[in-house]
Amino acid sequence: MSQMMRVAEITRPGGPEVLQWRERPLPRPAAGEVLLRVRAFGINRPDLLQRKGVYPPPPGASDIPGLEVCGDVVEGDCAGTSLHVGQRVVALVNGGGYADFCVVPAGQCIEAPRSLSDAEAAAVPETFFTVWHNLFQRGGLKAGEHVLVQGGASGIGSTAVQLAHALGARVWATAGTEAKCKACVELGAERAINYRSEDFVEAVREGTGGRGVDVILDMVAGDYVAREIGCLAEEGRLVIVAVQGGAAVSFDAALLMRRRLSITGSTMRPRSTEFKSALARALERQAWPLIEAGKVRPRMHAVLPAEQIVRAHQMLEAGDHVGKIALTWN
Ligand SMILES: NC(=O)c1ccc[n+]([C@@H]2O[C@H](COP(=O)([O-])OP(=O)(O)OC[C@H]3O[C@@H](n4cnc5c(N)ncnc54)[C@H](OP(=O)(O)O)[C@@H]3O)[C@@H](O)[C@H]2O)c1
């Protein structure tokens, strides 16, 4: 095995063109870690923020971007896991996914679903870990409840719509074009709202007879929060996973009290290995059967060769995509 690997370095903060393929020594797995030969890796909006220099990797994480891969276990410490050398896995990595080899805590690996291609499998971890934790564990979404997914055609949104629908929730989604609204319906949304031409608060109030929705998964924040508070049902939960519309918010706290609402949120990347490993086991038990049964499948916008990483970032930045973009090594 060559002692060198290929990595896409962020050569300086900036646009997609600052990503350049370089060679680096192969990393060695420490205790509790495995080395993966990467078959494919996914890209996510947080990678764009890291490339621009506004979302630095947490202490101890690789400076190479990339939060999710599909690959084969080459060597390492599989003790206490069901992993073995040669196994095809998906992994939520702490960084370093844009490479042909990658080191990851063993607990953050899950056997790759057999029904998915390498690119599809690589597109699973970041959105499944994030959505599972935020929508179901924090938001407590249950079968029969009504959920509004903001940005339903995004990587995160397309996973949220599918998982919520597969688990028996009534799903509404927002998106910025008619084509993306149509995609949300194909993914399982019962109603998609074009947020550029329609007020989602009015639509929710009207569509629920004034009751509101039980859970909202939000990736906008800013002035959305006050509006979301206005269309949550009693005991409703608002879960914030991104602040694309601004982090400073203002809302009517009296409504919060009167309707007994909760607001929560989280970021996945800085969480501990123990937390991510426990989440991996929950996904393995509860979400993997949905994938293997064909009820949930990553919605792929594009699959490109790894060499086209700059183009992949340009595509994600342009925002015309529905679902996920992944790159492969073969
Ligand atoms: N908290 C966490 O742990 C965590 C983990 C991963 C990602 N994230 C965040 O989650 C977000 C989605 O990530 P991604 O990788 O799925 O990115 P993505 O595919 O690029 O999605 C971004 C989405 O935001 C939507 N959006 C922007 N402004 C909106 C508005 N005013 N109303 C409704 N939707 C709006 C866009 O919808 P249209 O294109 O339809 O306009 C687009 O679909 C990003 O902000 C990312 O940083 C958070």
What would the pLDDT profile of 253-276 be if each residue is shown by its tens digit? 999 999 999 999 999 999 999 999
> Which pLDDT score, from 0 to 100, does residue 1 have?
66
Return the CATH number of 4-124+269-328, one of 3.40.50.720, 3.40.50.10800, 3.40.50.620, 3.90.180.10.
3.90.180.10
- List, for residues 276-326, the tens digit of each pLDDT value: 999 999 999 999 999 999 999 999 999 999 999 999 999 999 999 999 999
**Which sequence spans correspond to the domains of the chain?**
4-124+269-328, 128-265
Question: pLDDT above 90 covers what percent of the chain?
Answer: 98
Q: How many Cα atoms are found within 13 Å in the side-chain-facing hemisphere of 326?
A: 31
pLDDT average, residue stretch 16-23: 98
Contact indicator for 68, 124 with CB cutoff of 8 Å? yes
Ligand 1 centroid–CA 82 distance in Å is 34
> Which pLDDT score, from 0 to 100, does residue 181 have?
98
How many whole angstroms separate alpha carbon 152 and alpha carbon 173? 5
Ligand 1 centroid–CA 151 distance in Å is 6
Indicate which residue's Cα is closest to atom 38 of ligand 1: 176
Order of strands, edge to edge, in the sheet holding 232-240?
Answer: 191-194, 170-175, 146-149, 213-218, 232-240, 262-265
Beta bridge partners of 90: 70, 110
Ligand 1 centroid–CA 83 distance in Å is 33
- Pocket perturbation via mutation, ligand 1, pick of 178, 244, 271, 276 by most ligand atoms within 8 A of CB: 244
Contacts of 141 (CB under 8 A, 6+ apart): 135, 147, 164, 167, 169, 214, 215, 237
pTM above 0.75, yes or no: yes
> Which pLDDT score, from 0 to 100, does residue 216 have?
98
- Pocket perturbation via mutation, ligand 1, pick of 135, 219, 243 by most ligand atoms within 8 A of CB: 219
Tell me the average pLDDT of the chain: 97
Contacts of 46 (CB under 8 A, 6+ apart): 55, 67, 126, 269
Contact indicator for 28, 1 with CB cutoff of 8 Å? no
> For ligand 1, which residues put their CB under 6 angstroms from it?
44-46, 126, 130, 150-151, 153-157, 174-176, 180, 195, 219-220, 241-242, 244-245, 266-268, 316, 319
- List, for residues 107-150, the tens digit of each pLDDT value: 999 999 999 999 999 999 999 999 999 999 999 999 999 999 99
pLDDT category at 2 given cuts 50, 70, 90 is: confident
> Which pLDDT score, from 0 to 100, does residue 330 have?
79
> Which pLDDT score, from 0 to 100, does residue 292 have?
97
pLDDT category at 93 given cuts 50, 70, 90 is: very high
Topology adopted by domain 128-265 = Rossmann fold (3.40.50)
- Other Cβ atoms closer than 10 A to 136: 21
